[in-house]
Structure 1
């Protein structure tokens, strides 16, 4: 790579770092792992930067690589996830900061309960605001799969949020025995 390509890559990383970490955080549920995931992905993107930059869609390519890297991690690890903190730089509601944080935490917890592919579809469709066709292309799956994964994912997330917000509702981890 020549100096111009290196400078373009450095400028891309500086400009898109926060955005990529946010996507990775939504995919992993852990800020440290999200940053590691972005770094691993950027190392791989750097190898192909001349072609990626020339094609004119470096963010889209990098986002797809990020999702693929996240999926590969899930396949290798297969461990239960615990959610970390909400990134300090995440967008927050200015009018009622506490409600915004509470709502975000509920969404992040519901998102973390989804399987990796379903989570990736939801993140790409609603966080990155991709169309069904764009999400399908980014994930290498059919538009029909994106539609069904979106529908099922939203149903699961709604159920998780409803369960968590109904006081006194029994969940599989609560019991009335001994009360």
Structure 2
């Protein structure tokens, strides 16, 4: 009996690890995000400082071909009172809100043509975000999704956000946003 259970478990793991990527369709993702609390206007300085207060993020994606997709996301986070944010220190707790529209290029077939359980992509787009004032950003993203089954996966993504009015904003400047999300094929 013990051998049968072990064989069934190994067989199930082998079957589930052969999840297949899908060429087209709608996807929903939900999870967490961390916002780079840089303390400077330079987007690559102090990468270890992150805001993680109410870090919720959701997104809808339409993959209209094997390589291309468009995604709309919403994310919330926040900064604690007294923590340096882009050359300033807020005297109150601030809420971060962001919405972005990104175009994605999935290039997995070019580097891992035999792997159906992995999706690797880069993306670019525009967004609106607010910490203390409303600002817009140009975004560059890189990410990957690991598929456990044909309907469920986990995605990791990093987005660099370059604020349009960085010089005129005390807190709403260039920053990084990192995501860990569960992805569901609809």
More strand by share: 2
- TM-score above 0.5, yes or no: no
Please say which structure displays the higher CA radius of gyration.
2
TM-score range for the pair, normalised by the shorter chain length: under 0.3
TM-score (norm 1): 0.24
More helix by share: 1
